[in-house]
Amino acid sequence: MLRQYELVERVKSYDPDADEALINRAYVFSMQMHGSQKRASGDPYFSHPIEVAGILTDLRLDDETIATAILHDTIEDTLTTHEEIEAKFGANVARLVDGVTKLSKIEAQTENERAAENLRKFLLAMSDDIRVLLVKLADRLHNMRTLHFIKSEEKRRRIARETMDIYAPLAERIGMYEFMNEMQTLAFRELEPDAYASITRRLELLHAGGGDRIARIGSGLKLLLSRAGIEAEVTGRQKHPYSIWRKMAERHISFEQLSDVMAFRAIVPEADDCYRALGLIHRRWPMVPGRFKDYISTPKRNGYKSLHTSVIHAENMRVEIQIRSQDMHAQAEYGLASHWAYKQDHQRPDGQVRWIRDLIEILENAESPEELLEHTRMAMYQDRIFAFTPQGELYQLPKGATPVDFAYAVHTDLGDQAVGAKINGRVVPLRTRIENGDQVQILKSKAQEPQPHWLNFVVTGKARAAIRRFVRNKERDESVALGRKLYDEVVARLPAQLGAEALALAMKRLKVDSEPALMSQIARGTVNDRQLMEALMPGSAGEDVPGEPRRAPSQREAISIKGLTPGVAFKLAPCCHPVPGDRIVGLRCFDEPIAVHAIDCPSLADGIDADWVDLAWGDRSDGGTARLSVILKNEPGALAVAAGVFGAHKANILNLRLENRDGGFHTFHVSLEVRDLQHLTRIIAALRATDMVSSAERI
Ligand code: MN
């Protein structure tokens, strides 16, 4: 175990200004609080936080982080309170210790492996101070180093699994590759002891008697490139047992077939040199087919650029070679801080730890966390939020997600039946935006079904698709029902009783292959009355059936409305006669075409039980029928003047009726074909402008 003075000396060696007293106080306090608690190894518990602090001195972290590491288990495992920590060590350390404690609690809640990816992202998002995460990772690393002391195999495996699924990938994500490798190796040894032993043995055999193979191959590679005038920095390494194992498992190949046991990296000055170097390497050694990857022309999503290839080197050894320029290498190595650190500090004098120190500085000076996150890979998670079910299951959603999105993320049925939601115990409207960390409870009812207006606020593709699918199916059902009604009307008009046979024959004649398809064609008007009559009973429609005028081309051919699935039956409501330009809304009642009303139509009040559909006029609307009430003075020629106004505006009169005769005034109701609202407004204005018209109003 590190002694108090050793720990202080380590910190002083890289940070002479570090607060020595702070570290000393923390050391003594932690030792007192943990008292006689013991680790599974039999060591005093207190050795654990000290070792964690020691790991963090390797990263040259600041005094506050070191103190946090020493104190990190006090709130959780001893009687210490937040207030005590704050009083003794200041607000910063107290906040950091709290952060680590909070992360530990989240870990305890989750045993669901499926949620691992979400949990990793959540931990990252919660660690608003990167130091919290670094302490947590060092804590986990030390626990892995001492894992073998734990007696229960089940517990060991659970911890190893969690490390593999959550902490190693987290370490990778923020660029802590050494942490990642060690965690993976230790977890692998626990989870797959036989595979671990076998791979380690083979690696030893491979090197037995071969001398330093890696150095030999590496210098050969460097020489090859420098002869061609490319001054490359070449490094080589043996792959870690876990990554070898993963490759073997992924590709179903044996150790001997594996090309990735040794990997080399050639860092060349410029991007152009990469392809030249590749050519030289492929000419010198045969390449392994299928292993070449050009991440320069197609970078990975995180911006990673490099050429990867495998060649068959002398001694029949396959080796992997990565080729990249200095710029690309810097980008790949900086991890979390790649974006800004590289630009600020091209030289990077003290290696990878530098960016962490810079990062901490920025964290402390940044006005807001967002300012920093903007520049780091953490930004990846800023467009996500994380929310819990009442059972503590975690779901990841895009920012702006609502309880409806959440419900669909949990289960399609839950989304379909959502009627309301509670966020953190409070009832909220379904369109409420969920905040990070919210607990969301969906209230459901079997009687509920997806509402078309949800489409106005959901943000996830899953919710959108489910609602659309439902609405589409429902509209199809409605259109089949409407078609059947029209069909029955036509059948009733025919002189004979018709049975199933006639229908089957009619379908054949109309080349329709199912009854619902026929009904929906009737509803849409693709099969009209006359065609249907002819098909059911040839000759019945005749040339011109008396008293049965030819069906006028339906309005729906002349009008387009946005918000409706094409082909869905609708009608313009007879109560308000909306014309293009009016704000409109659709009411959907079972068994009826969707009724299109003007938004201020009084009869909408009766429609509260119907589904409301948001509609807008389409671009190709050819017009509509407006109804006007016009009061004319009882004078000769007054009606002619009004008719003249309609004529001058090219508005066709469809119907004109005298409604009321009252002393000196006559009230007429006029149905008028107009192009749109603007057209109508101009006509009304022109009417009002004449002396003969006392008033003109739309009904
Ligand atoms: Mn711990």
**And the tokens for 113?**
């492996």
| Least reliable range by pLDDT among 299-313, 378-392, 634-648 | 378-392
Task: Dump pLDDT digits (tens) for 49-68.
Answer: 999 999 998 877 888 999 99
Instruction: Answer positive or negative: Cα dihedral of 36, 39, 42, 45.
Output: negative
Asked if pLDDT for residue 349 goes beyond 50, the answer is: no
Asked if pLDDT for residue 112 goes beyond 60, the answer is: no
- Segment 305-311 long-range contacts (CB within 8 Å, at least 24 positions apart): 305/331, 305/332, 306/332, 307/274, 307/275, 307/278, 309/278, 309/281, 309/282, 310/259, 310/260, 311/281, 311/282, 311/284, 311/285, 311/286, 311/287
pTM for the whole structure = 0.48
Asked if pLDDT for residue 127 goes beyond 70, the answer is: no
> Between residues 288 and 563, which one has the greater pLDDT?
288
- The pLDDT value recorded for residue 279 is 93
Please report which residue ranges of 429-514 form alpha helices under DSSP H.
461-493, 500-509
- The pLDDT value recorded for residue 212 is 75
Q: What's the average model confidence in pLDDT over 26-30? A: 95
Distance from the alpha carbon of residue 389 to the mean position of ligand 1, in angstroms: 28
Q: What's the average model confidence in pLDDT over 17-41? A: 92
Q: Tally Cβ neighbours within 10 Å of residue 622.
A: 13
Distance from the alpha carbon of residue 450 to the mean position of ligand 1, in angstroms: 47
Distance from the alpha carbon of residue 693 to the mean position of ligand 1, in angstroms: 89
Distance from the alpha carbon of residue 104 to the mean position of ligand 1, in angstroms: 9
Distance from the alpha carbon of residue 186 to the mean position of ligand 1, in angstroms: 17
Asked if pLDDT for residue 544 goes beyond 70, the answer is: no
User: Quick one: pLDDT band at residue 380, thresholds 50, 70, 90?
Assistant: very low
User: Quick one: pLDDT band at residue 277, thresholds 50, 70, 90?
Assistant: very high
For residue 695, what are the β-bridge partners? 631
User: Quick one: pLDDT band at residue 69, thresholds 50, 70, 90?
Assistant: very high
Residue of 306, 354, 369 whose CA lies nearest to 130: 369
CB under 5 Å of ion ligand 1: residues: 73, 139
Asked if pLDDT for residue 90 goes beyond 80, the answer is: yes
Residue 166 DSSP label = I
Catalytically annotated residue among 15, 20, 43, 77: 77
Distance from the alpha carbon of residue 560 to the mean position of ligand 1, in angstroms: 66
Q: Check: CB of residue 573 under 8 Å from CB of residue 594.
A: no
- The pLDDT value recorded for residue 337 is 37
Instruction: Answer positive or negative: Cα dihedral of 122, 126, 131, 137.
Output: negative
| Least reliable range by pLDDT among 77-81, 515-519, 687-691 | 687-691
Q: Tally Cβ neighbours within 10 Å of residue 336.
A: 20
Task: Dump pLDDT digits (tens) for 425-452.
Answer: 888 888 899 987 778 999 988 888 888 8
Distance from the alpha carbon of residue 49 to the mean position of ligand 1, in angstroms: 6
Helix, strand, coil percent values for the chain (each to nearest 5): 50, 15, 30
**Cα–Cα distance between 142 and 163 in angstroms, integer?**
12
Distance from the alpha carbon of residue 137 to the mean position of ligand 1, in angstroms: 10
Q: Counting every residue, how long is the chain?
A: 699
Distance from the alpha carbon of residue 221 to the mean position of ligand 1, in angstroms: 45
Q: What's the average model confidence in pLDDT over 346-365? A: 42
Q: Tally Cβ neighbours within 10 Å of residue 69.
A: 33
- The pLDDT value recorded for residue 354 is 42
Distance from the alpha carbon of residue 313 to the mean position of ligand 1, in angstroms: 46
Non-local (6+) Cβ contacts of 517 within 8 A are none
Average pLDDT, the chain: 79
- The pLDDT value recorded for residue 286 is 87
User: Quick one: pLDDT band at residue 128, thresholds 50, 70, 90?
Assistant: low
- The pLDDT value recorded for residue 371 is 42
- The pLDDT value recorded for residue 222 is 94
Task: Respond yes or no: is residue 17 known to be catalytic.
Answer: no
Task: Dump pLDDT digits (tens) for 531-543.
Answer: 888 888 887 765 5
**Placement of tokens 């959502």 in the chain:** 418
- The pLDDT value recorded for residue 364 is 46
Task: Dump pLDDT digits (tens) for 603-647.
Answer: 777 766 667 777 777 766 667 788 888 888 888 888 888 888 888
Non-local (6+) Cβ contacts of 313 within 8 A are 217, 285, 319
Torsion of CA 541, 547, 548, 552, to 10 degrees: 140
Task: Dump pLDDT digits (tens) for 174-185.
Answer: 667 778 889 999
Task: Respond yes or no: is residue 77 known to be catalytic.
Answer: yes
**And the tokens for 372?**
């920093």
Distance from the alpha carbon of residue 584 to the mean position of ligand 1, in angstroms: 63
Residue of 450, 368, 376 whose CA lies nearest to 407: 450
Distance from the alpha carbon of residue 352 to the mean position of ligand 1, in angstroms: 25
User: Could you tell me what percent of the chain has a pLDDT over 70?
Assistant: 80
Asked if pLDDT for residue 378 goes beyond 80, the answer is: no
- The pLDDT value recorded for residue 141 is 96
Catalytically annotated residue among 15, 20, 43, 76: 76
